């Protein structure tokens, strides 16, 4: 009896060992014998040389603008985690959220998804970046607000996730409209350009040297905060009133495409003390846009919208909303829903 028990025990132990060895073998072997990955080096927006083994299969993306670009290049099915601001295209909402934004993304949630690569915007704290990299996952930090960086990122992504041809197509598309704007506003004299007061967030404007400022200049406007050295100054209301801008341009974020969000933003501007005397208010030239069309691939839509607001007669033939719809249909393959610019 005792002997039988001993034999059965030995057999069970042997079986367990064999099973363990087999499992280990099964999980271990593929990575050993799998195709050798090629390494590409990407210089990101922070100037860091990031070595990435391609092709990348599992991506965590912590920036809405970058998420859009990855999706346009056909990489949506490789995104396995996102931040809460990555909400476009809508199908991305199915992926798990690993943090509110790159500022406070959860390290454990991210690593649990076993990503090959993490994308982030400039808000990511350097300690967090270090921790992710120490876990063996490369991090690419990119600025989707800067049109020049967007183009570089699209090219880099062509290398990282494939689709270099598509990358070229998108860059051509963006540049063709950039050229349209440049040609039409390029020859304007200072007198022909409207004075613009820009506002976002809690009332920040944008000083010289910021991408937002460059955007206004590119669209043929003169920013009343051009002289400011603080990147995002809060301008004194009386300064705004005295400068009497022709245009008030407001970027809102967090809107979900409902018209009421834009109407409220506009009403708030109109109801400000003293603003009824401002030219932009008197002439009904207060414009609200969703910050989504100011970054990533769709930055071009925002640029066209601004140019049309500033110079309606020069851009009579351009309908930013129609171009937005076309862009989304062509590159994302979906129908655009909701409001992004008002009026």
Q: Which positions lie near another protein, rule CB under 8 A?
A: 84-85, 100-101, 201-203, 228, 230, 233-239, 241-242, 244, 250, 252-256, 258, 260-261, 264-265, 267-269, 271-274, 276-277
- Whole-number minimum distance, CB 110 to another protein, in Å? 18
- Whole-number minimum distance, CB 237 to another protein, in Å? 5
- Whole-number minimum distance, CB 61 to another protein, in Å? 16
Contact 87, 68 (CB under 8 A): no
Our CB check for another protein shows the closer of 78 and 213 to be 213
At residue 290's C-alpha, the angle toward residues 300 and 121, to 5°, is 75
Long-range interactions of 338-341: CB distance < 8 A, separation 24+: 338/256, 338/257, 338/258, 339/255, 339/257, 339/258, 339/259, 339/261, 339/262, 339/290, 340/257, 340/289, 340/290, 340/292, 340/293, 340/301, 341/262, 341/287, 341/288, 341/289, 341/290, 341/293, 341/305
- Whole-number minimum distance, CB 251 to another protein, in Å? 9
At residue 266's C-alpha, the angle toward residues 87 and 341, to 5°, is 45
Q: In whole angstroms, what is the distance from residue 279 CA to residue 242 CA?
A: 10
- Whole-number minimum distance, CB 268 to another protein, in Å? 4
């Amino acid at each position: 009896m005792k002997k039988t028990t001993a034999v059965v025990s030995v057999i069970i132990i042997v079986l367990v060992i064999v099973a363990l060895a087999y499992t280990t073998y099964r999980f271990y072997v593929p990575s050993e014998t799998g195709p050798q990955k090629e390494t590409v080096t990407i210089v990101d927006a922070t100037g860091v040389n990031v070595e990435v083994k391609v092709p990348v299969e599992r991506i965590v993306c912590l920036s809405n603008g970058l998420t859009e670009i990855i999706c346009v290049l056909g990489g949506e099915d490789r995104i396995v985690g996102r931040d809460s601001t990555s909400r476009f295209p809508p199908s991305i909402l199915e992926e798990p959220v690993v943090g509110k934004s790159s500022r406070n993304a959860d390290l454990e949630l991210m690593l649990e998804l076993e990503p090959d690569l993490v994308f982030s915007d400039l808000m990511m704290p350097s300690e967090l970046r270090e921790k992710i990299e120490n876990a063996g996952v490369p991090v690419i930090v990119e600025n989707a607000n800067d049109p020049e960086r967007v183009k570089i990122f699209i090219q880099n992504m062509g290398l990282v996730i494939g689709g270099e041809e598509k990358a070229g197509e998108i860059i051509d598309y963006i540049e063709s409209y950039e050229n349209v704007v440049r040609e039409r506003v390029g020859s304007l004299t200072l007198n022909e350009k409207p004075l613009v007061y820009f506002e976002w967030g809690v009332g920040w404007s944008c000083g010289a040297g910021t991408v937002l400022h460059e955007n206004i200049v590119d669209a043929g406007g003169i920013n009343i905060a051009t002289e400011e050295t603080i990147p995002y100054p809060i301008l004194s209301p009386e300064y705004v009133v005295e400068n009497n801008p022709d245009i008030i341009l407001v970027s809102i974020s967090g809107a979900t495409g409902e018209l009421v969000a834009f109407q409220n933003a506009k009403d708030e501007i109109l109801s400000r003390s003293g603003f009824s005397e401002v030219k932009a208010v008197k002439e009904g030239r207060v414009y609200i846009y969703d910050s989504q069309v100011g970054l990533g691939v769709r930055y071009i839509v925002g640029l066209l919208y601004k140019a049309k607001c500033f110079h309606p007669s020069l851009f009579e033939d351009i309908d930013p909303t129609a171009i937005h719809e076309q862009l989304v249909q062509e590159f994302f393959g979906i129908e655009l829903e909701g409001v992004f610019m008002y009026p």
